[in-house]
Every structure is written in C-alpha cells, then in structure tokens.
Structure 1
Amino acid sequence: MNVESSLKWMKQELASMEEASLKRSLQAGSAIPGLPGRMLRGTGELNLPNLLNLSGNNYLGLSQHPAMIEAMREVLLQEGVGAGASRLVTGNRPAYTELEEAIADWQSCEAALVFANGYMANTGVIRAVVGRDDVVFSDQLNHASIVDGILMSRAELARYRHNDMEHLGALLHKHRDRKRKLIVTDAVFSMDGDQARLEDLILLKHEYGAMLMVDEAHSGGIYGRHGEGLCHIRGVKDEVDIHMGTFSKAFGAYGAYVCGSRTLIDFLVNKARTLIYSTAMPPALVAGIAQALVLVQQEHWRRERLRTNHRSFRSHLEKMGFVLGIGDSPIVPMIVGDNETALRFSAALEENGIAAVAIRPPTVQEGTARIRFSLSAAHTDKELREAAACIREVGLQLGVMGR
C-alpha cells in the first residue's frame, strides 16, 4: 500500500469537515509596529489590509512594549537564542529562578515554577498530581489543555455541567472514597468569558477533601489591584492548592507559571514530565516576561482602560440586539448559531477591516458557533464604536440580530 492509499481516510475526513463548515486552515498575519491593537493579514506587505484585531489575547497591549523588547535584546546578545538543555540538565539560568521568585511574591505564594506554555503547564501538572486510581472533576467548558491533561494522567474524568455546583457535589459524593480527588476549573472561561464560582468550589473542596486547581490564563494580569487574578479579588487565593496562569495573554509574551506551596513546586520539579523533558525557555524570553511582570503590576491604567473598553463594546452590541454570552471580561462571545453563518460573518468583517475569527465545534458546543471578540487596552474608543457599527451592518445583512 502506497502513502496516498494509506492516507485516503484523511482526505475523506477533511472533505466531511469542509462540508460541515468545520475545516480550518492557517492564515498568516503580521504585527504593525507601534499599533498592538491592529494587524496585517498576510505576509506583512504594506499594501495588505490593516485590520482592527478583535481576536487576539493581548489584553493589556504589552506585546510591543519598548521596555520588554529592550530587555529581550540585551539578554539575546549576551546569552544567545536558546538555553541549550532542559533546566534539570544544564539549561537552568539564574534569571529563571529570579523570575519564579518574583512571580511567587506577586501571587503571595511560597514558590512558583515556569513552564513553556499553558498547555504544557496544565498537562504536566495534572499528570503529575493524579493517576490511574484517582478522579478529576472538570467543568464542562474547561480548556482543552485541562481535558488532555486528565486523559494523559489516566485518572477518571468526572465532568460536571458548567458552573453547576449541585451536579459537582453529586459527583464528589459518588466518588467520595477515591484515593485522590482534584477539582479543576478555568477562572474565566476562554470561549464564553464568564467566571467560575470560586467560593462554592472552595466549600465543596473542603467538604470532600479534594484538591483545587484554578487556571487563570484569561484572568491573570486583568483582575486585582496589581493584576494578581480572580482568586485574589474573590478572597480565595489561600484556599487554592494549585494556581496556574499564563504569560501569553495579559503579559503579551509567551509561557506559563504554576504557584503554590514549596512542597507542590518541589514535587513538580521531580514529576512534571513537560518540564523535565523539555528544553528550558529561551533566556531572552524570560527577560521579557520579567519586564512584563513589572509593567503588569505598575501600569494600573491598562486594566482600567481594558475594563472600560470591553464594557462599552458589550453595551453597544447588546443595544443592537445581538445574542451575547453572559460575563464581565475582555472576552465577548456573539452567538450566531450555525457554522456557515459564523464563517460568513467573520469573512464579511475582515472585508470591512476587522479581524474577528469564527469559533466552531468542537471548540464550542454544536449549535453555538460564534464570533469571539477579544478586547485590548490598545483599542481606542473610536475604533470600537466604528467596529460596533460595522458589526451591526453585517448582522443586518446576515439576519442574525435580535432587533
């Protein structure tokens, strides 16, 4: 059997995906120096459309900050491009430990550990702390990296209905005699923009003797006086066993961190396979993250502008009659229903200068295809008002508005 024959099933599956408006493809996009809220579609040639980027996660507009770029440049010239080995071999630089100490201080935790990205943090941590005889209770709308971490751990997955504490309580009671129990939740859910019921999760954690892990990927840097996250402003930080966050959203960089007790971090250094068997992060990137951490804590105006932007934008769309997910975060999902309409809506917006990607199953549930708008402190009020007016016109053309 030749290669073409053996992979025939792939062609068939791709054709089925395309017929259902579910096939995806990679589209090039380039940054515009000095305009972190905008992008160029394509290879970055100046004659290509300048788009308002309403699908990025650069929440605080830090991705092009001069101080971060300069910090990275200095270390790049000194250290070179890569670390050359895993941290447990010869790749550990003093700057990594310094960053982890700064993160732990920021989060008011005993210790912290940096991972290459959020996916590796979640899969590495979950696989390290639970195994075949254990059970993990996961919100139905948790990020795919959490689900994959559970599957890789071989622990039993007990998925509870989104933010349904009664259902979670029933599952915890059913598995009350299991060796180890771990509850995992996003703090802000990435496709819906709503928040976890953290206080209720704490009560259930104590009632059933479970561990609690909270993923603050879409809330770290955004909530709290210094951007500490949702757990801090809800007053439950000290009750969370495993606190995870990323540098790829509000920090405008790349990477992730896990905070908790010294015992937890020491355990992960010895057990988290995604840390042990991965080359250390590039030293220059670590320098950029360290500078971003300073900016996140000091430049409070960025959070204030972001809050004003997403609340104003949401208000515009609600008044126009669009169906939006409930929440108070930079993520504003506009539900359009079927996959084809979502694709047509996204394409029409791009033709009018707005990058806003259609989100379809399996990322979201069947029948809830959406345009997931994601706001930034880099957006201006004028840009967002004009964008809302354009969205209204497209909505009228496609017949997806409530009024």
Structure 2
Amino acid sequence: MASASAGGGAGGGREWDDWLHASLSGLRSAQLLRTLRPTVPLMSSSEALIYSADLDAWAQGRDPAVAHWGHCCTPPPGALTGLLTGGGPSGGAAAVLQQGPGAGPGPSLPSPGPLSRLRLFSLNDYLGLGAHPEVAAAAARAALAAGMGPRASALVAGYTHCHRQLEEALAELKGTEDCLLFPTGFAANLSLLTTVAAAAGAAGSSASPPPGHPPVAVFSDELNHASIIDGARLAARGAGGAAGASGQGQGGGGGAALHVYRHNDLGHLEELLSATPPGVRCLVVTDSLFSMDGDFADLRGLAALKARRPFLLALDEAHATLVAGERGGGAAEAAGVADQVDLHIGTLSKAAGCLGGFAACTRGFKQLLLNRGRAYVYSTALPLPVVEAAGAALRVAAREPWRRRHVWSLVERLGRGLGVPALSPVVPLVLGPEGPTLELAARLLRAGLHVPPIRPPTVPQGTCRLRVSLSAAHSYADVDELVGLVRASGVPLLTLPHLQDPRAALPGGPGSAGGGEGAVPLSAGELMRAGLGRGAGVQSRL
C-alpha cells in the first residue's frame, strides 16, 4: 500500500504519516470522526434500503461491513427477501429493483445478507421532487437523447438552449431580469462574493475610501453557510485585504474588509455599517433560512436598514426556494421584500431535488459573473439530464402547491409533538454534548430512522444536535413515530434562545402563504392519493 505522503526530503513521508495519524486520532477521541455510509437507493425522497450488517455497524460506530457489488442501484439476487421492516418494496418497485440500472451478474462475493428499510429525516429534498416520476422521466429522456450533453465549460461549448430555458424559469420565479446557472450553490457563492469584491475594488467611484482602507466591505451573518464564509474570506484576501481573528477588515489595497455581525442582530450590523468610511462599497450577505438552526433572517428589518444605509444585498435562498412564499419564490417573497434583494443565490439540490446552483440578478450582474466568476468560468456546465430534471421540478412545484402545504403542516406537527421551536422544515433537536447526541442518533437508527447528528465545527461547541429535515414525502405517521421515539428516550432537549425571537420566523406564519397561513392540512384522502397515508408502501412513496 502506498504511503499517505508523497514524501519530499529525508523523513518527509514519516512526518506526514505521523501528522495524518495524529489528526485522525484527535477527531476520533473528540467523537468528531465521520464515515461515509453507503445505502441502496430507492425511487423515494424519504426512504432508502441498507444492508442489515451495515446498519448494525453504523449504529455501533464501526466501518461499513458489506463489500461493494457491481450494480450499486440494484441489490444482489435474493437480497430483497425478508426485509426486516414492514412496507417493503413489492410489485413494480421490486421489479425495478431487480431489473434496474446496472442489473446483471455481480462479482463473486459472499452474500451481503438481508436489507432493512431506512426512513430518512436527513435529506434536503423538501418537496419530495427528487424521486418524482416527471423529474426522473425528464432526466431519462435527456440522457437518451443527448447523453450528458456537451462536456465543456459554459463559455466554451457547454451551454445549450436547455440551460437558457432553465435560467429564464428561475429568473421568473425570483422576479429578476436574468439568472446564471452554476455547478453548485457553493460555487455560486464563491463566484459572487469574490467577483463583486474584486470588481468593486477595481472600478472607479465618485467617492474614494481613505488611503489604506479596502474599497469594499463585506458584512456576513455569523451563522452563514460555509460557502458564504469561504467566499467572504477569499474576497478579503483579494489583492491585499485580509480578515483578522475578530472578523474585522485589516489591510488595505484591492481586497475587501470582512465584518461578521452577530446572528440576526441588525443593531450590530448597523453599528458596523455606520463605522464604515465614506466611499467604501458595502455588501451585506446572509442566508435567508439558516441550514442548522432552521430560523430565518430578519428580511424586513434588513430591507428597512438598507433604506437608511444603502448597501448591496445578497441573499442565499438555498433552503427556502420553493419552500416559502406564495409561488415558492423563497423567504424574500414570503416577507414581501424580494424587490429589495440585489442578488438572489440559490441551489437546485434541495427543494428542486436535483443539482446545481444559480444567481438570479440583473443582466449586468450576470454578465459580470460569467466573465469574472472563477468557479463558473473554470467549471464544466451542468449535465443536460440534470438541467432538464430541474426544469421539470419547477413545473411540478408550480402545479402542486399542496407539497408546500403538507411540509409546513409537518413542521407544525413536529414542533407541537416535541415542544421545540419548529420554524421551517429544518428542525434542530439540541442535546448539547457529543455523547448523548450520538447515542440518540444510534437509537433512532436501530429503529430504522436516520436523523443525522451534527457536531462541531458545523455547529458551536455545546450545541450538538440531531438535524431533522422534513419533506413532503414524509407522512404524518412518519413524524408521529419520530416524536414517539424521541420522547421515549427521555433525553432532555435544549432550546436555542434566538429561536424564540419572533423575528426568527417568517412574518405572517408558517410558509407565509406558501401553503402556510390559513391553509388546512391535507385530508386523509389527499394523503392516500399522494402515497403519504398510513401504511403506504415504499413503491408509492414520493
């Protein structure tokens, strides 16, 4: 086996091996070492299959036990026999599993044993569109017609009419002039923040900042997603700008000054804006729905602050697009301030159930991003099947608003059942230390429910939690079982103080007309027709 190091001088390989061993040991002793856990996918946005041996290893914190087979989307012959939980695949679904992609004789390996059914409270597929038949059919048609599509960057040869059509649909959803697709939401944030900071620093201005002060200042909420944090740090490095440990801009030249304001504290943000010298261009960037706490940015407050102290507002709607708002336009639409947002960032990998990112903006900003955004310029364009699937997902979401209505009714049901703040389809069950959090996650896993434990550095020390992610593909019975198991564990749940602040919720109630305020829950008949009623089998799940 090759060494972990490429070596570089006498003793170089040993030094790197020692470092790697110490790094992994430190993660293991702090209960922060993570492992990839393979499952067998289903045509479902809320369930998967897992080999029972792998499930046992997972619950015990051991490495996966089952060797890989040659057909990853299809279990080996006989593996579907004797599922350990009820409601397993039958009829058409079982036929798909036996004859699906990659079906055929596998390698000569020992039998992996039986499969168990796993209900997933861990996906970001909020509307259950990732497994929708129309979405899958759109991807399949595109793949059969054109394979993956032209494999080049969009500026070279990777851009098609299909890409353009999806951009137009997203611009319409967000109410903007235009839109630019990115390979991921992460790439969209990296490109936007570094491009705006660099371009603003290079361009002329009627007013100039004081000598030695960066020409651009970026203001970021302390709980923003890692892609915003990394993009802001790169923007600060720029051509001489730097960020100190306090988050305050330190340097001066062509980079940006980076300021981190306390979570949802617009008073603190206004103080930082007020201290910014004249002639400095200000960019405020925030998530609209925070991915680990499930709360919302105070968007009406931000709009009012922007009217008093003008700045460019970039809003990452990754977790709110299609989930909030009357048309699914996101939290800004729900709050009635979409026209105050200058740059709408989003993803196609969550409620759209696909892959990719986007920035909805003016035509001028689109032109700038596609010419200067390095994560765009130097990345291959999205595969055609993904583009077509995302377009189909937008159409289904527009045609079936009951999906938003149902997921918001699940949010209310979970919050009421556990007595915790539930402000969105992301509901944190905060336990505090790593040990109890991992123990409860393992207990739920053994019962067939995957609710991922979230630990530092993703969340602050002492706030370890189970992150419940709800989907329109979940049933009331799914949520009720989760509530019952958590309550039966007897583990006390903590409440993060900021989740009790009224500004952390969308104004106007759950979803703000996106299937929320004033909407009635789905009837039993509607649930059964959607495949969400009690006892619905895997084959009928969304």
TM over 0.5: yes
Does 2:204 correspond to 1:195? no
Gap regions ≥5 residues in structure 1: 319-323
Partner of 1:387: 482
Q: Distance in 2 between matches of 1:203 and 1:381?
A: 39
Q: Distance in 2 between matches of 1:401 and 1:166?
A: 30
Partner of 2:107: none
Deviations 1:260-288 (A, max 9, x none): 11111111111111111101110111000
Are the equivalent residues in 2 in contact too, given 1:220–1:229 (CA < 8 A)? Answer: yes
State the structure with bigger RCO (CA 8 A, min sep 6), 1 or 2.
1
Are the equivalent residues in 2 in contact too, given 1:83–1:281 (CA < 8 A)? Answer: no
Q: Pick from 104, 120, 131: which aligns with 1:64?
A: 131
Q: Distance in 1 between matches of 2:30 and 2:233?
A: 27
Q: Distance in 1 between matches of 2:271 and 2:422?
A: 26
Are the equivalent residues in 2 in contact too, given 1:183–1:205 (CA < 8 A)? Answer: no
Within a 5 Å distance, the mapping from 1:301-380 to structure 2 comes to 301-318=402-419, 324=420, 326-380=421-475
Q: Distance in 2 between matches of 1:145 and 1:202?
A: 23
Partner of 1:400: 492
Partner of 2:227: 145
Q: Distance in 2 between matches of 1:195 and 1:205?
A: 18
Within a 5 Å distance, the mapping from 1:25-40 to structure 2 comes to 25-33=35-43, 35-40=44-49
2:431 aligned counterpart, secondary structure: strand
Q: Pick from 225, 237, 243: which aligns with 2:326?
A: 225
Are the equivalent residues in 2 in contact too, given 1:139–1:160 (CA < 8 A)? Answer: yes
> What is the Cα deviation at residue 327 of structure 1?
4.5
**Amino acid paired to 1:228:** G
2:167 aligned counterpart, secondary structure: helix
Q: 1:15 to 1:181 in 2, by over 3 A?
A: same
Q: Distance in 2 between matches of 1:401 and 1:181?
A: 39
**Amino acid paired to 2:160:** R
Does 2:204 correspond to 1:122? no
**Amino acid paired to 2:45:** P
**Amino acid paired to 1:289:** A
Within a 5 Å distance, the mapping from 1:55-204 to structure 2 comes to 55-131=122-198, 133-154=215-236, 155-177=256-278, 179-204=280-305
Are the equivalent residues in 2 in contact too, given 1:195–1:327 (CA < 8 A)? Answer: no
> What is the Cα deviation at residue 206 of structure 1?
3.1
> What is the Cα deviation at residue 39 of structure 1?
1.7
1:258 aligned counterpart, secondary structure: strand
Are the equivalent residues in 1 in contact too, given 2:183–2:381 (CA < 8 A)? Answer: yes
After superposing the two structures, state which structure 1 stretch, 332-341 or 151-160, moved more. 151-160
After superposing the two structures, state which structure 1 stretch, 338-347 or 173-182, moved more. 173-182
Q: Distance in 1 between matches of 2:257 and 2:434?
A: 32
Q: 1:4 to 1:82 in 2, by over 3 A?
A: farther
Equivalent residues, number: 392
Does 2:18 correspond to 1:8? yes
Deviations 1:133-173 (A, max 9, x none): 42211111100000000111122221111101111111111
Deviations 1:283-308 (A, max 9, x none): 11100011111111111010011011
Deviations 1:114-138 (A, max 9, x none): 1111100111111110136422111
Partner of 2:375: 274
1:36 aligned counterpart, secondary structure: coil
2:154 aligned counterpart, secondary structure: coil
**Amino acid paired to 2:120:** N
Q: 1:371 to 1:134 in 2, by over 3 A?
A: same
Q: Distance in 1 between matches of 2:149 and 2:445?
A: 37
**Amino acid paired to 2:220:** S
Deviations 1:62-113 (A, max 9, x none): 1111111111111111211242111111111111111111111222210011
Please report the TM-score for the alignment, with normalisation by the length of structure 1: 0.94
Are the equivalent residues in 1 in contact too, given 2:326–2:333 (CA < 8 A)? Answer: no
> What is the Cα deviation at residue 245 of structure 1?
1.2
Deviations 1:200-259 (A, max 9, x none): 112222333210000111110011222111111211111101011111111111111111
Q: Distance in 2 between matches of 1:239 and 1:392?
A: 43
Partner of 1:250: 351
Are the equivalent residues in 2 in contact too, given 1:83–1:279 (CA < 8 A)? Answer: no
Q: Distance in 2 between matches of 1:252 and 1:352?
A: 26
Are the equivalent residues in 2 in contact too, given 1:333–1:373 (CA < 8 A)? Answer: yes
Identity over aligned pairs, percent: 36
Q: Distance in 2 between matches of 1:137 and 1:263?
A: 23
Deviations 1:1-39 (A, max 9, x none): 252432311211221121111111211123222x32112
> What is the Cα deviation at residue 401 of structure 1?
5.0
Are the equivalent residues in 1 in contact too, given 2:121–2:469 (CA < 8 A)? Answer: yes
2:115 aligned counterpart, secondary structure: coil
Gap regions ≥5 residues in structure 2: 1-10, 55-71, 81-113, 199-213, 237-255, 495-542
Partner of 1:321: none
> What is the Cα deviation at residue 192 of structure 1?
0.3
Q: 1:70 to 1:401 in 2, by over 3 A?
A: closer
Are the equivalent residues in 2 in contact too, given 1:226–1:298 (CA < 8 A)? Answer: no
Aligned Cα root-mean-square deviation (Å): 1.6
2:45 aligned counterpart, secondary structure: coil
Q: 1:339 to 1:178 in 2, by over 3 A?
A: farther
Deviations 1:295-340 (A, max 9, x none): 111110100110111110111011xxxxx4x442001101100012
**Amino acid paired to 1:288:** A
Q: Distance in 2 between matches of 1:123 and 1:298?
A: 33
Deviations 1:156-194 (A, max 9, x none): 221111101111111111124352211011111000001
Partner of 2:506: none
**Amino acid paired to 1:210:** F
Q: Distance in 2 between matches of 1:114 and 1:354?
A: 35
